[in-house]
Amino acid sequence: MQNNEEIRLIEQAQKGDGQALQLLLQRHYTFLVRYLVKITLQPYLAEDLAQETMLRCMEKIRLYNGQTQFSTWMMTIASRLFIDYTRKQKRERRLLEQEQSLRKLKWQGQQAGEAGLEMWEALASLEEEQRLAVILKHYYGYAYDEIAAMLNIPAGTAKSRVHNGLKALRKELEA
Amino acid sequence: MMKDYRKKVPDDSDDGKLSQEDQQLVEMLRSGLDALDKTVSVSEPDPAAFARQMDMNRSLIHRKFIRDLLIFLVAALSLLGAMGLALFRLPVLFVILYAAGLAFPMLLVRKEHERVREE
């Protein structure tokens, strides 16, 4: 449930209150970047996409209808921007950038003594659309219908992406 | 402190029960992604810097709106001019353009349907 203050901020932002919109977006910024880091595995790309998501939210705030959480609405915009990005970029270039970023992330993770680095590598091996579906389902806990609405795909497709994604993850971790 | 947006109980209602193997995998996934959160530091944005960014975004949206409006007006006037000219000087060309204008969007819709079905 959204709290009353957030609902008030959304209403004010929809009426054109720039400060309310700023406060609203500022409160969700960290969460948004973290979500984008998880799905892209590239912190710089995540920052860029977060900026673009903010811009879209500013443009479309009047279209937000309150049927989902505000954070879910932002995640939807961010996910679709990420999918657009993957479709526009050449696959080879994308994989190269991801590999470089992942190497740097793993080094940082090792320095920080973090466990679970092999999972990052396994996630990086998934197709972006599968990775997105798996993370939305099993990290954020969304239902297939919700994932389908967020990614604008049929629920059956969402389910098969999650299923195949988990299968591919297991295979990658066993290799 | 950042809000915990993750649902407390993962929604497996439309999934049946996960096998023990899958549960372990999902646990690994969650701890791996939590470790990613700890590794990549994302700080709360500074309000003043965020306000500047918002101002930049606002002016970007304004410029984009003006650009889109100009493109729309130029395209609409060119199209209307061309159609008007065709209607009064070359009626056959007008009919061809009109038919093409109807068929083209239908082809696009059909192609999109096929793409979605293939997915």
Residues B43-58 have a mean pLDDT of 82
Number of helical H runs and strand E runs in chain A: 9, 0
> Inter-chain contact B32–A120, Cβ cutoff 8 Å?
yes
CB spacing of B35 vs A169 below 8 angstroms: no
Instruction: Check if B11 contacts A (Cβ < 8 Å).
Output: yes
**Residues A131 and A164 sit within 8 Å (Cβ to Cβ):** no
Asked if residues A140 and B5 have their Cβ atoms less than 8 Å apart, the reply is yes
pLDDT of residue A84: 93
Mean pLDDT of chain B: 83
Interface of A with B in 136-165 (CB under 8 A): 137-145, 153-154, 157
Residues A34, B45: C-beta atoms closer than 8 Å: no
Residue B2, pLDDT > 50, answer no
Mean pLDDT for back-to-back runs of 10 residues, chain A (175 residues)? 83 91 91 95 93 90 91 96 90 85 86 80 92 95 94 94 93 87
Backbone phi, psi, residue B44, to 5°: -60, 135
A118, A139, A151: best to mutate for the B interface, most B CBs within 10 A: A139
Contact B11 A166 (CB under 8 A): no
Q: Do A105 and B61 touch (CB under 8 A)?
A: no
Q: Which residues of A62-80 are buried (b: 16+ CB within 10 A; e: fewer)?
A: eebeeebebbbbbbbbbbe
Are A33 and B42 within 8 A, CB to CB?
Answer: yes
Asked if B2 has any chain A CB less than 8 Å from its own CB, the reply is yes
* Side-chain half-sphere CA neighbours of A142 within 13 A: 27
pLDDT of residue A41: 92
* pLDDT at residue number A107: 87
pLDDT of B57 > 90? The answer is no
Name the closest residue on chain B to residue A121, using Cα atoms.
Answer: B32
The string of DSSP codes covering B7-45 is -SS---TTT-PPPHHHHHHHHHHHHHHHHHHHHS--PPP
Residue B46 has what pLDDT?
A: 80
Subunit contact A139:B30, Cβ cutoff 8 A: yes
**Is A37 within 8 Å of B36 when comparing Cβ atoms?**
yes
CB contacts under 8 A, B 64-103 vs A, are none
Which amino acid, A31? F
Please tell me the distance from the alpha carbon of residue B119 to that of residue B115, in angstroms, as a whole number: 6
Any CB–CB contact under 8 A between A133 and chain B?
no
- pLDDT attached to residue B11: 53
Asked if B109 is an interface residue toward chain A (Cβ–Cβ < 8 A), one would say no
Residue B56 corresponds to which tokens in the numbers above?
């930049």
ipTM over the 0.90 cut-off: no
Distance to chain A for B71, nearest Cα, Å: 19
- The pLDDT, as a whole number, for residue B14 is 56
pLDDT score, position B7 = 52
Radius of gyration of chain A (CA): 17
